[in-house]
Amino acid sequence: MDSFLTNYLGVSVMVLGGLIALIGVLLLINHSGGAKVIGGIVLAALGLAGVGVGYTLDQHVEVTYTVKEVTEVSARDTNQVYRVTLKPESGAETWIYVNDSQLYTFPKGEEVTLTKSQVKMYKEQDANAAAE
């Protein structure tokens, strides 16, 4: 599949779903007939479903990052936690937290490919949770 299409398909579906949901809500507000109310409810539901599908598609987009820096955050007897700074091909740097068993997959200076959902999972894993 084309890279442009892959990268923007999820966002496009989310935006289109939002617009359809907005049209549905406008039909509900301007309820001058039973058909418009039912149509508004159906459009709003379909639009919100589209937003959900678009978000799911967007979270599975793969992004290639360069590992810029690996910093030890805490030293523990059983497990050490590291903050890994990642730089995508375009965009701002971000960082994730990993423990000893995950560190070998992020060699400094190398490129790694992660889905957006994986990056989100690593980001939500704070320094204390990563050490457990």
CA trace torsion 123, 124, 128, 132 (10° rounding): -100
What digits encode the pLDDT tens for the residues 83-111? Answer: 888 998 887 888 888 888 888 888 888 89
The pLDDT score that the predictor gives to residue 1 is: 44
Q: What are the pLDDT digits (tens) for 60-79?
A: 888 889 999 888 886 655 66
- Torsion angle of the four alpha carbons 71, 77, 79, 81, in this order, in degrees rounded to the nearest 10: -20
pLDDT higher at 33 or 6: 33
Residue pair 17/50 in contact by the 8 Å Cβ criterion: yes
- In this predicted structure, what is the pLDDT of residue 19? 92
pLDDT: is 98 or 125 the higher one?
98
Could you tell me the pTM of the whole model? 0.66
